[in-house]
A and B are shown apart, each in its own frame.
Chain A
């Protein structure tokens, strides 16, 4: 069975390829934006000499390039997405790119199962009470314009996949990972805090972090992709034994490097967010509303997370959170975070 992985050269994409190989899938097509991304994949492939890894360089902004990459595949795992850039670029690389991919998929003669790597950001968490359980029944975000652009683009992307499924009837499996971490990934999710004026504002307090170690997340994607009953289903992806934001930061300081952090309690953050939003409105946008009560509720309100549905189809984390954090922090210590 030929499986296409988009964004295969990325942080998560590489792990997906590895987990597919570990599950005995040997006919993989890796879609990359440029050939330099193939380096890490070649190293992975060398551990599975029986597997056939094909590399295709495609810019998903160009519909004409995609057809040949999709041709002959039975499963398409869409992991490519924009993580940074201007809003227009992020929508181009997450939403328009997805529409192009879907057009290629529905133009194939053979049926293709599509697996989308969506995000926690697509869910409307800000309208839930603090501490509420987040699972697959949590409704999608109703006010994307009030969230960050990444969440907005991931929401629109997921909606697009459901719209196309409704229209064309292909098999669709959606995974919504929480915070994907691991060696080579980012050091701090915004859920922990933000660097501002030379200090790290610790905003997450005692909130649980919806962490998923990159290999665990990839495993979840592969298990769901290969599970026959997953069609039309959504699976949230978080690991077991989650740590709080405070525990993460404290372990980071111990294992990686000292961080000059300033804890900001939720009530103070909420008050500050109201002030920032009001000032931004009153000054007609002289300073951007980087904090608003809505964003703060969504990002730092604090929730519980469930992975029960994922476990019901046979997923188990391959790395414990304890071990995952040790591995990630050891790698962070060896390779300092790139300047943003």
Chain B
């Protein structure tokens, strides 16, 4: 790849998640972070200075006109994703967008249509699905060892006192509070982008309920934010549970797929993919052996992880690197983008169904932007 001209990358929106993008792009062969932009120039400046980016801007139009970018990463709040995407593809750049794609599924469709009409490519930062355990799971599924999925459980833990949670809870004006689906809308892509690819094409049934478990009343906008979400889905012969859970510990991040041939649990935090052992021997002996089998499977996962660490392939955003390599590669070769657009839209549609049910009053309302 090094013999090719490096793709010129830009970032719009220099909030917290932009650090992750800058860190990943910095180490990707075949790409250079050419410019960053934020409507608050001081934020653009700090990102540029810390990552040695040669140019920073407070105006998107100016950056696009001057920098001739191949790809723009849009890491702003979602309310401005559509407008920014139009501007970027209009200037000839491909776009890589943070989740959620937009505020509603129809708006997401408009965004993808705008990209297609401009003959550009887009993808969304579903990086956990490109992390090593997710890639291993996809291989297992394709090989047939799991059989057909019967039931799926996707679980995302969230720490309201963690780095992101605290930013949210300490600022009633944070843009996440203005999303129609609030915290859930900012997180649940990662629930449904795991479930949707395992469902048949038909529109699924979606039953959602949510509640607020924390007791503290702060007397501001943060109070109206629900923090526990449970979703039940069915599509054809496949069912799923999706959970976003802010109080259970440890803060887990898992996918469990019950297939016709085997049941597999993917742990995104611990980077393990383990098939449940079944009883192959009769009576008490049958119950004695499986825990040993499970222990041995976890041990082999631990060895594999240690090996990846040794080879410096164990980065936090390993999945984003993989996703971007595929996306940038597709741009060079003209191949299809790594995540099918239809899949992105199906995720957006499920999210709309959930928001309608858990925040009926705000669903479809528009919001204004802010720093991510």
**Chain A positions near chain B (C-beta within 8 angstroms):** 59, 61-62, 85-89, 91-92, 95-96, 99, 144-145, 149, 152-153, 156, 282-286
Contact = CB atoms under 8 A, between A and B. Distances in A.
B126 to A, nearest CB: 21
Nearest to A160: B42
Contact of B19 (A59, A62, A86, A283): A86
B27 interface: yes
Nearest to B46: A91
A145 B26 CA distance: 15
Given A86-B19, A88-B15, A88-B16, A95 B27 contact: no
Given A86-B163, A86-B167, A145-B50, 9 more contacts: A85-B167, A87-B19, A88-B47, A95-B42, A145-B49, A152-B50, A153-B46, A285-B23, A286-B314
A61 B19 CA distance: 20
Interface in B1-47: 14-16, 18-19, 23, 26-27, 40, 42-43, 45-47
A88 B163 contact: no
Contact of A86 (B16, B26, B314): B16
B43 A88 contact: yes
Interface in B48-67: 49-50, 52
B42 A99 contact: yes
Given A59-B173, A85-B167, A86-B19, A92 B315 contact: no
Contacts of A152: 46, 49-50
Given A87-B46, A145-B52, A284-B27, A92 B163 contact: no
Contact of B27 (A92, A144, A145, A285): A285
B42 A88 contact: no
19 contacts: A59-B173, A61-B173, A86-B16, A86-B19, A86-B163, A87-B47, A87-B50, A91-B42, A92-B40, A92-B43, A95-B42, A96-B43, A153-B46, A156-B42, A156-B45, A284-B315, A285-B26, A286-B309, A286-B314
B315 A285 contact: yes
Instruction: Label chain B's interface by main secondary structure.
Output: helix
Contacts of B160: none
Interface of B: 14-16, 18-19, 23, 26-27, 40, 42-43, 45-47, 49-50, 52, 163, 166-167, 171, 173, 309, 312, 314-315, 371-372
Contacts of A283: 312
A88 B309 contact: no
A156 B173 CA distance: 25
Contacts of A96: 40, 42-43
B315 A88 contact: no
Contacts of B167: 85-86, 89
A309 to B, nearest CB: 30
Contacts of B371: 88, 92
Contacts of B312: 282-284, 286
Contacts of A153: 46
A62 B42 contact: no
A127 B46 CA distance: 22
Contacts of B173: 59, 61-62
Q: Which 5 A-B pairs have the closest CB atoms?
A: A283-B312, A284-B27, A86-B16, A91-B46, A88-B15
Contacts of B315: 284-286
A283 to B, nearest CB: 4
A142 B32 CA distance: 25
Nearest to A144: B49
Nearest to A33: B170
A124 to B, nearest CB: 15
A88 B14 contact: yes
A286 B47 CA distance: 20
A288 to B, nearest CB: 9
A86 B372 CA distance: 11
Among A59, A152, A153, A285, max chain B CB count under 10 A is at A285
A85 B14 CA distance: 15
A13 B309 CA distance: 46
Contacts of A144: 49
A7 to B, nearest CB: 15
Contacts of A282: 312
Contact of B16 (A89, A156, A285): A89
B372 to A, nearest CB: 8
A144 B52 CA distance: 11
Contacts of B49: 144-145, 152
Contacts of B171: 59
A86 B47 CA distance: 12
Contacts of A284: 27, 312, 315
Contacts of B14: 88
Contacts of B40: 92, 96
Among A88, A89, A149, A156, max chain B CB count under 10 A is at A88
A286 B171 CA distance: 31
Given A95-B42, A286-B314, A88 B27 contact: no
B168 to A, nearest CB: 11
A271 B46 CA distance: 29
B145 to A, nearest CB: 30
Contacts of A59: 171, 173
Nearest to A157: B42
B317 to A, nearest CB: 9
B174 to A, nearest CB: 10
Contacts of A285: 23, 26-27, 315
Nearest to B167: A89
A156 B314 contact: no
Contacts of A145: 49-50, 52
A59 B16 CA distance: 19
A88 B42 CA distance: 10
A88 B11 CA distance: 14
Contact of B43 (A62, A91, A149, A286): A91
Contacts of B372: 88
